[in-house]
Structure 1
Amino acid sequence: MRLALFTDTFAPEINGVARTLERWTNYLQARDVPCLVFAPDPASSKSPEASPFVERFASMPFFLYPECRLALPNPIHVRRALDAFRPTVIHVATPFNLGLFGIHYAKKHRIPLVASYHTHFDRYLAFYNIQWMVKMLWRYINWFHQDCRYIFVPSKSTLHDLKERGWDEKRLAVWTRGVDTKSYHPNVDKAQLLASHGLKNSPYIVFYAGRLAPEKNADVAISAFAKFRRDVCKDAVLVIAGDGPSSEQLKQQALQEGVDAHFLGFTAMPELQQWYAAADVFLFPSSTETFGNVVLEAMACGAPVVCADTGGVTDTVRHEWNGLRCEPGSADSFAAALERLYRDESLRNRMRARGLAHSMRQSWDAIFDELLARVAEVSLADDRSTIRHIRG
């Protein structure tokens, strides 16, 4: 098998899709499966190391999701690289410029095609007041995936959503996410960490990690925490790790609601693990997730999770078992969950233990073994009639 991967986000970008795809290609290389990645140049502040396995192209940020960059590839260069590589299967991971090149080449040369569906872009539109694009976007997304032998989705809930939209369930398969428990673990010197940030007298830490953008509902986290602090624990501290277009707006909201939130900005490993492990609660109200990697990371670090009762996070968080799920968008619901965990230490401890146990079972190697078997099946298939041949 020889796999060509087309993606509009890839390492060194830091987001769930980029990190998952990097792990996938590392796994393939470790098993001597030839892989060639077509990806955009990252943001100008980052400079990836040159790699013979990655073809890079000039790019610009996509307005709905800047971590996905719209590549400006040279068609001649792409074609020559593919002709030399001779892929037996093409994997398109994002439905933008590079993905279109991958589909075109697969159709022209009758190469088996698979896709991975990572993001509910249609759910982002309302946050940017462009709901009128929903039908047009879905028309395009349906067309983009129509010739894929398999479409890999990150959660059962995402598979159900696509099935409800009329997608063929036989072509849908769950490619879930794992967590590296050597990197994400509960060990932390909490007193030292808090003291280094001027928080040594803080008795209760509520932690949020994620992109600061409208679709992540971080504003709900601030409002819920403000109510919790006002009514329940006046000494609690909200720590927010992440950056994005809503950063300044969220800081203003925190001031207006009387919350002295501690904004860390972009937080990389190993510091991120330290904050997960130091948190008394991980608060994640996003209602647009297809999986929610940060939830699994928090569990692996021993943080009880409070999340929205919708989307891919519901595959990870079992309500009342290893976390609490709340009404999406309801600050009151999230505040009530924070209060419940604060007042019930035994509940926190049970959810911490169960979250840890769940994370220990999410092995990346086992997940990729299953994915490789499915992709290899497609690569070796003689029946390629599902792909419509095109000329030119």
Structure 2
Amino acid sequence: MKVLFVHQNMPGQYREFASWLGAKGTHEIVFLTQRRNNPKIGGVRTVQYAPHHKPAQDAFGLSKVWEEATGAGFGAASAARKLDDEGFRPDIIIGHTGWGEMLFLKQIWPDVPILGLFEYFYRATGGPVGFDPEEPVNAHAPFLLEARNAVPYAALHQVDRGIVPTQWQHDRFPPGFQDKLHVLHDGIRTDQLLPDPDVRLRLGRLEHHVSRDDEIITYIARNMERTRGFHQFMRALPKILNARPNARVIAIGGSETSYGKASDHPGGLRGEMEAEVGHLIDWSRVHFVGRVPYPEFCKIIQVSRCHIYLTMPFVLSWSMMEAMAMQATIVAADVAPVQEVMTHGKTGLLVDFFDPDALAAQVAEVLENPQAYAHLGPAARNHVVENYDFLTKSLPGLVDHINALVPPDKAITL
């Protein structure tokens, strides 16, 4: 089979599947992406494309996202036409619909089926917009959000079938999408993500390694921003550290803004929160390590006695489910996307997103009485293995979706 993957930031949600498919050695695979310095995936040829057009910084807000999406779509289509001229005609196209790259591929290959990933539908209620009173919504927000939905609306008519990672994300889409959308998570490599009771980790300014014997608290987000509750994490730190004088905190993440409004503080949200609560924090026990390589991320989770996962109602982070797979004891925000995957008292502990005191008290309790919560990590891992494992759940489901769209002689075998 000839397969075309499309994702502006290769490999994205196709990290595991593209690697698995490429390793079979029986398919011709091309990955179309904007990303430079692409990761090398065995058996996969990477083709970089450039957007044909990008909107001006001061472009009209209600059409800016659509202008950017069509520029990306035309750039991807131009690269696809070149592939076709070279003799590559895919049997199926698999890609993310969110940025417009998939909008015009049917103009190149009208009869090639498309399996599209739909990640998020924007609404003025029920998600991160308007959730936090500290981020008031202006009168234009509903119009801007609906304008962003021009991309998924258009993409719906370009794909033959759609996948949504979770039920909560699925339910954000309007009824007109439902016939084409199927819930299937990207998958967690639970066979590789395991607990390690003997893990040892070196932190930069310490002369000794830390291990599972230490009181290590962890927090992880792609970027330290309000959507991922960084402000509430920082507000909880003084009480956590005061209650547990031997505790140490490791925070992973960048200082940019992926979602929502950026902080007006020159030091970003981290600078803003340090100005608010920094005088109450023992900084000798707090380690901001930035973004780290994946193996180091795993070690940090494995050494953690209590992992904090905060989010507004939004797309669930892989890191939470990866932490569950590694049997972390997790204290998480009590919001709908988390509730879909985690049950309070059984696979984790849920606290009010807006109550940093409750967060601090729960974390301190876990650190003080780890044996009382020792059942949570194994139960969390079992839940992820049974419902979200890549090899046994996501991979067979994805193969079934693909095989439903291609002729029998092109079907993928497990």
Distance 1:226 1:120 in 2: 37
Amino acid at match of 2:356: A
- How far residue 190 of structure 1 moved from its aligned partner, in angstroms, is 5.2
Question: Please, which of 17, 33, 40 is the counterpart of residue 34 of structure 2?
Answer: 40
**What residue is the counterpart of 2:83 in the other structure?**
81
- How far residue 148 of structure 1 moved from its aligned partner, in angstroms, is 2.5
Amino acid at match of 2:92: V
**What residue is the counterpart of 2:399 in the other structure?**
372
Amino acid at match of 1:95: G
Q: Is it true that 1:131 corresponds to 2:141 in the alignment?
A: yes
Distance 1:198 1:316 in 2: 38
**Structure 1: where are the runs of 5+ without partners?**
12-17, 382-392
Distance 1:120 1:170 in 2: 16
Q: Deviations over 1:306-329 (max 9, x none)?
A: 222235333321221110122334
**What residue is the counterpart of 2:363 in the other structure?**
338
Distance 2:229 2:54 in 1: 21
**What residue is the counterpart of 1:244 in the other structure?**
255
Q: Deviations over 1:168-215 (max 9, x none)?
A: 433221221332345422215556535874576995221011211342
**What residue is the counterpart of 1:227 in the other structure?**
239
**What residue is the counterpart of 1:110 in the other structure?**
111
Q: 1:379 to 1:309 in 2, by over 3 A?
A: farther
**What residue is the counterpart of 2:5 in the other structure?**
5
**What residue is the counterpart of 1:180 in the other structure?**
189
Q: 1:156 to 1:52 in 2, by over 3 A?
A: closer
Distance 1:363 1:103 in 2: 32
Amino acid at match of 1:227: K
Question: Please, which of 270, 285, 293 is the counterpart of residue 268 of structure 1?
Answer: 293
Q: How many equivalent residue pairs?
A: 364
Does the CA-based 8 Å contact 1:188-1:274 persist in structure 2?
no
TM-score in terms of structure 2 length: 0.75
Q: 1:117 to 1:76 in 2, by over 3 A?
A: closer
- Identity across matched positions, percent: 15
- How far residue 248 of structure 1 moved from its aligned partner, in angstroms, is 4.6
- How far residue 147 of structure 1 moved from its aligned partner, in angstroms, is 3.9
Does the CA-based 8 Å contact 2:128-2:314 persist in structure 1?
no
Does the CA-based 8 Å contact 1:154-1:312 persist in structure 2?
no
Of stretches 193-202 and 303-312 in structure 1, the one that deviates more from structure 2 is 193-202
**What residue is the counterpart of 1:388 in the other structure?**
none
Q: 1:121 to 1:225 in 2, by over 3 A?
A: farther
- How far residue 263 of structure 1 moved from its aligned partner, in angstroms, is 0.4
Q: 1:318 to 1:125 in 2, by over 3 A?
A: closer
Does the CA-based 8 Å contact 2:201-2:303 persist in structure 1?
no
Amino acid at match of 1:23: E
Of stretches 122-131 and 351-360 in structure 1, the one that deviates more from structure 2 is 122-131
Q: Deviations over 1:275-299 (max 9, x none)?
A: 1011111111112443321012112
**What residue is the counterpart of 2:262 in the other structure?**
none
Q: Is it true that 1:29 corresponds to 2:22 in the alignment?
A: yes
- How far residue 269 of structure 1 moved from its aligned partner, in angstroms, is 2.5
**What residue is the counterpart of 1:149 in the other structure?**
160
Amino acid at match of 1:78: A
Find the residue that maps to 2:331 and give its secondary structure. strand
Amino acid at match of 1:92: G
Q: 1:262 to 1:308 in 2, by over 3 A?
A: same
TM-score in terms of structure 1 length: 0.79
Does the CA-based 8 Å contact 2:5-2:94 persist in structure 1?
yes
Q: 1:353 to 1:41 in 2, by over 3 A?
A: closer
Question: Please, which of 217, 221, 229 is the counterpart of residue 217 of structure 1?
Answer: 229
- How far residue 118 of structure 1 moved from its aligned partner, in angstroms, is 2.7
Q: Is it true that 1:161 corresponds to 2:172 in the alignment?
A: yes
**What residue is the counterpart of 2:263 in the other structure?**
none
- How far residue 251 of structure 1 moved from its aligned partner, in angstroms, is 4.6
Does the CA-based 8 Å contact 2:219-2:250 persist in structure 1?
yes
- How far residue 339 of structure 1 moved from its aligned partner, in angstroms, is 3.5
Distance 2:114 2:76 in 1: 21
**What residue is the counterpart of 1:389 in the other structure?**
none
**Structure 2: where are the runs of 5+ without partners?**
58-63, 258-266, 409-414
Amino acid at match of 1:41: R
Does the CA-based 8 Å contact 2:218-2:304 persist in structure 1?
yes
- Cα RMSD for the two superposed structures: 3.6
